[in-house]
Amino acid sequence: MKWINKRVLVIGAGLSGQAAVQKLQYLGSEVFLTDGKSLEQLTNVEEMGLDPEHLLVGRVPEFEEINPVLVVLSPGVSPKLSLVQEAISQNIPVWSEVELAMKNCPALCVGVTGTNGKTTTTSLIGELAKQTGRPSIIAGNIGVALSGQVKGLGETGIVVAELSSFQLEFIDKLRVHVAILLNLTPDHLDRHGSLENYLEVKARIFENQTPTDLAILNWDDPLVRDLGPKLRSRVLYFSPTSFLQDGISLWHDQIVYAEKEKKNMIPIISRKDLHLRGAHNLENVMAAAAAARAFGLSWTEIAEGLRQFKGVEHRQEVVGTYEGVLFVNDSKGTNTDAATKALLAFEEPLVLIAGGKNKGLDFHDFMKVVQVKAKSLILLGLAADEMEQAARDEGVQTIIRASTFEDGVEKAIAEAIPGDVVLLSPACTSWDMFKSYEERGELFKELVRRHYSKPI
């Protein structure tokens, strides 16, 4: 469909919305942008060159004001919004920004989704993609909108995209040539309603694949593994716990690739050579290795890239060791599964800082792990009452409430002794106190460094 002079409504004026506007302007569309926030609350919107009459902020306009032929929905906007529901009822296409971004982009698309590990895996694949020498970009849910990055990429280009359930919910023809589903545990149930609905949305990453494309699946996750026989694409499994005769798995301490037909097994790298800590990161490494092989790197080149990768900000990021206490920023642990994996990555006594805004999750199973792994639990934010009740139900002994985030960090420091780890892994979103998990993580690092004069 030609978009020249066609009316398109973009809902949400954040990074994704702004990138969508810019692409649509380039395509010659008549673009309308709406956001519930006022102009004063938004950044960079006035510099976009939109007709003032097309900038509908601080309110939800009536659908008839615009009568668009296409709606582009930013991932943070609820699909229950009246504008979205009206478009659906009138059979007007509703797209996510990633669908718009990849229209007419001939580059190889590598997509990563799952409940946890997306950012680490996407970043790692992006670093491996750079080793090919081909033009490559890393974008999507990782904090950089796709629409602003893919322009000019040709057939030799590689797009590495982190894709959230919110983005996949409204795709249409998006084809992901190498698609990865890392794992699936309850998350965003406040939006999707059930685990079954959540899985259905995540599985859309494979929807437009062909038999020449590749699906990379976690053998250890039954919900993910069972998708394999239903897919049209070629399937490659990975497992950090079971040896696979076909796929990538662990053989003693070696990550290996095996092919049953050829009766061969290729060592890739020893897990001791990886900087990434924790058993869950083996999933991320194996998935990334499979993707890198698909876009042409040798196993030797892949091993070198894996050896050099040291992780990403806000995901088990080491802040420093101060007076014998290790401080770790896992602000991206925004659900119970991610926070559980962070807890299990450490053998040292833990002082855990948790809390924020819940996403409709139950905390009891998480608190069973806290009871075993953490010597002290610092709780803050909107979910603190709910978390405290679950913690008491599961026998957590030392529970300390904090009135503010700053108070929580100070109380964690006071609890820790040399040899301990202070871990920020909230198991909640940051939206009750912060704009993003990044802002929360940055403040944690700043508060720790401000408290101490210098690392030991």
Q: Is 352 exposed, middle or buried (0-12, 13-18, 19+ CB in 10 A)?
A: buried
User: Euclidean distance between the first and final Cα of the chain, in Å?
Assistant: 61
pLDDT of residue 359: 86
From residue 190, how far is each of 135, 143, 309, 365 by CA, in Å?
Answer: 38, 22, 35, 19
Q: What is the pLDDT of residues 165-221, one digit of tens each?
A: 999 999 999 999 999 999 998 777 677 778 889 899 999 999 999 999 999 999 999
CA-wise closest residue to 317 among 123, 131, 148: 123
What whole-number distance in Å separates Cα of residue 46 and Cα of residue 261? 60
- Pairing mode of beta strands 136-140, 247-251: unpaired
Long-range pairs for 45-50 at CB < 8 Å and ≥24 separation?
Answer: 45/13, 45/18, 48/18, 48/21, 48/22, 49/25, 50/21
What whole-number distance in Å separates Cα of residue 256 and Cα of residue 243? 9
What is the DSSP track for 363-412?
Answer: -HHHHHHHHHHEEEEEE-STTHHHHHHHHHHTT---EEE-SSHHHHHHHH
What whole-number distance in Å separates Cα of residue 346 and Cα of residue 421? 8
Task: Please say whether the beta carbons of 319 and 277 come within 8 A.
Answer: no
pTM confidence score: 0.78
* pLDDT tens-place values along the chain, 456 residues long: 577 889 999 999 988 999 999 999 999 999 999 999 888 888 888 888 888 899 999 888 999 999 999 999 998 888 999 999 999 999 999 999 999 999 989 999 999 999 888 989 999 999 999 999 999 999 998 888 999 899 889 999 999 999 999 999 999 999 999 999 999 987 776 777 788 898 999 999 999 999 999 999 999 999 999 999 999 999 999 999 999 999 999 999 999 999 988 888 999 999 999 988 777 889 999 999 999 999 999 999 999 999 999 878 898 888 989 999 999 999 999 999 889 989 998 989 999 999 999 988 999 999 999 999 999 999 999 999 999 999 999 999 999 999 999 999 999 999 999 999 999 999 999 999 999 999 999 999 999 999 996 554
CA-wise closest residue to 339 among 186, 132, 142: 186
User: Which 3-state string (H, E, C) describes 206-271?
Assistant: HCCCCCCCEEEEECCCHHHHCCHHHCCCEEEEEECCCCCCCEEEEECCEEEEEECCCCEEEEEEEH
Is residue 125 helix, strand or coil?
helix
CA-wise closest residue to 158 among 180, 144, 178: 178
Task: Please say whether the beta carbons of 328 and 316 come within 8 A.
Answer: yes
What whole-number distance in Å separates Cα of residue 8 and Cα of residue 67? 8
What whole-number distance in Å separates Cα of residue 309 and Cα of residue 160? 16
CA-wise closest residue to 381 among 357, 400, 411: 357
Is residue 108 helix, strand or coil?
strand
Domains of the chain (ranges, CATH numbers): 7-92 (3.40.50.720), 99-308 (3.40.1190.10), 317-451 (3.90.190.20)
Which H or E run contains 327?
Answer: strand 325-329
- Please name every residue paired with 321 in a beta bridge, in sequence order, or none if there are none: 326
For 42, how many CA atoms within 13 A lie in the half-sphere containing its CB?
A: 22
- In the chain, how many H helices and how many E strands? 15, 20
For 348, how many CA atoms within 13 A lie in the half-sphere containing its CB?
A: 17
Greatest alpha-carbon pair distance for the chain in Å reads 66
